[in-house]
């Protein structure tokens, strides 16, 4: 039985897309709605439509992907229109917001609030791909400011999408900041490992055009970093739910994220490569692992990672 709950909402499975993958336009959103995913999220939006960075801007790697999309999106109103038509009985919808300024973010969240949809805000604090824009997730003062401002402007609970952290002191500091904001009731970790570089041996060139080839790394490369961030925030933020993201392409990876403390698991690179049918395989693989281990429900092992 893969059914579970996320913040009181029933899910058929603890699986969804990662924002940015298969969720830019209505056709893709409808495909996710009809897939076996238990929830779904829209592409991170800005106030206005953007073309994004020049192509090529995504490249498949041997163990994952590199991307520097640059926030191509249809503008927040397009996703609000989708959110107003979404079937919330079928599955919950998350609404990802990545405004270019604090004011843009405040404008967008005010519009979401006025739309009265049950969509859950996932505030993206970790886009590494807009030239000249630092990630809020790595500026702890800016992080505190945006959480204070969104908390006072937005009347409902919301979540944050964080970049990966690599230092215990940073886990402590970010968790302390998040714990001061009660409205932050979920944390999605992780976004891509920002500004990696991969090289084509034959042509001796970079693989993507923007930012001289630098881009966010996803897929198998990032699994240990993702699991560490999920577990670090799960243990430091006991009142918040964790959404795991990073390195998931099999049922085993889903199981590991759940064990580390995730309540819901996102799929990015592998969904990009394989399409929404992947959720059928991930569910079968997760169910098989649970059966082999003698677990009947997810809550029997969720967050129960053992130490030595
Ligand atoms: C993009 C990439 C991200 O990792 C993100 O969080 C938001 C946007 C992008 O390049 O489009």
Domains of the chain: 4-52+71-193+219-300 (3.20.20.70)
Q: Relative to the CA of 68, which ligand 1 atom is closest?
A: 10
Percent composition of the chain: helix, strand, coil (DSSP 3-state, to 5): 40, 20, 40
Nearest CA to ligand 1 atom 11: 71
Partners of 16 in the β-ladder: 266
Nearest CA to ligand 1 atom 5: 127
Assign 131 a pLDDT band (cuts: 50, 70, 90): confident
Which CB contacts under 8 angstroms, 24+ apart, belong to 134-141?
A: 135/163, 135/194, 137/162, 137/163, 137/174, 137/191, 138/163, 140/173, 140/174, 140/177
Of all residues in the chain, what percent carry a pLDDT higher than 70?
A: 100
Nearest CA to ligand 1 atom 2: 127
Residue 132 has pLDDT above 90, yes or no: no
- For the stretch 195-241, pLDDT in tens is 999 999 999 999 999 999 999 999 999 999 999 999 999 999 999 99
- How far is 240 from 220, CA to CA, in rounded Å? 26
- From 45, 216, 218, 222, the mutation candidate for ligand 1 (largest count of ligand atoms within 8 A of CB) is 216
Is 23 assigned a catalytic role? no
Read off φ and ψ for residue 283, nearest 5 degrees.
Answer: -65, -45
Sort residue 213 into left (φ over 0), alpha (ψ -120 to 50) or beta. Answer: left
- For the stretch 135-185, pLDDT in tens is 999 999 999 999 999 999 999 999 999 999 999 999 999 999 999 999 999
- From 129, 134, 137, 138, the mutation candidate for ligand 1 (largest count of ligand atoms within 8 A of CB) is 129
Whole-number Å distance, alpha carbon 69 to ligand 1 midpoint, is 6
With H, G, I as helix, E, B as strand and everything else as coil, classify residue 220. Answer: helix
Amino acid 151: pLDDT: 98
Amino acid 133: pLDDT: 80
Read off φ and ψ for residue 91, nearest 5 degrees.
Answer: -165, 150
- For the stretch 60-84, pLDDT in tens is 999 999 999 999 999 999 999 999 9
Question: What token pair was written down for 240?
Answer: 């918040």
For residue 13, what are the contacts with CB-CB under 8 A and spacing of at least 6?
2, 3, 4, 36, 37, 38, 279, 283, 286
* Residue tagged 């809550």 (tokens): 299
Whole-number Å distance, alpha carbon 76 to ligand 1 midpoint, is 15
Sort residue 139 into left (φ over 0), alpha (ψ -120 to 50) or beta. Answer: beta
- How far is 108 from 123, CA to CA, in rounded Å? 11
With H, G, I as helix, E, B as strand and everything else as coil, classify residue 97. Answer: strand
Give the pairing of strands 193-196 and 199-200: unpaired
């Amino acid at each position: 039985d893969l059914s579970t709950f996320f913040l009181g909402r029933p899910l058929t499975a603890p699986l969804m897309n990662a924002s940015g993958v298969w969720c830019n336009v209505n056709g893709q959103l409808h495909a996710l709605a009809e897939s076996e995913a238990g929830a779904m999220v829209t592409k991170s939006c800005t106030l206005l439509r953007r073309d994004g960075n020049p192509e090529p801007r995504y490249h498949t790697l041997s163990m994952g992907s590199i991307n520097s999309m640059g926030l191509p999106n249809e503008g927040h109103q397009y996703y609000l229109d989708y959110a107003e038509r979404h079937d919330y009985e079928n599955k919950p919808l998350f609404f990802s917001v990545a405004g270019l300024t604090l004011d843009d973010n405040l404008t967008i969240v005010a519009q979401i609030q006025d739309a009265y949809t049950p969509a859950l805000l996932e505030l993206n604090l970790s886009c590494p791909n807009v030239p000249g824009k630092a990630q809020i997730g790595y500026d702890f003062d800016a992080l505190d400011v945006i959480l204070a401002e969104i908390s006072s402007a937005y009347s409902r609970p919301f979540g944050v999408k964080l970049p990966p952290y690599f230092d215990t002191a940073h886990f402590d500091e970010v968790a302390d900041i998040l714990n001061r904001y009660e409205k932050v009731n979920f944390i999605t970790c992780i976004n891509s490992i920002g500004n990696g570089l991969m090289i084509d041996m034959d042509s001796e060139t970079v693989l993507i055009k923007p930012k001289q080839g630098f881009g966010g790394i996803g897929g198998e490369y990032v699994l240990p970093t993702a699991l560490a961030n999920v577990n670090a925030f799960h243990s430091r933020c006991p009142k918040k739910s964790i959404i795991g993201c990073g390195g998931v392409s099999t049922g085993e990876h889903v199981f590991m994220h759940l064990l580390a403390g995730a309540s819901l698991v996102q799929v990015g690179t592998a969904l990009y490569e394989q399409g929404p049918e992947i959720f059928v395989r991930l569910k079968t693989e997760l169910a098989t692992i649970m059966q082999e281990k003698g677990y009947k429900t997810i809550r029997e092992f969720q967050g129960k990672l053992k130490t030595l």
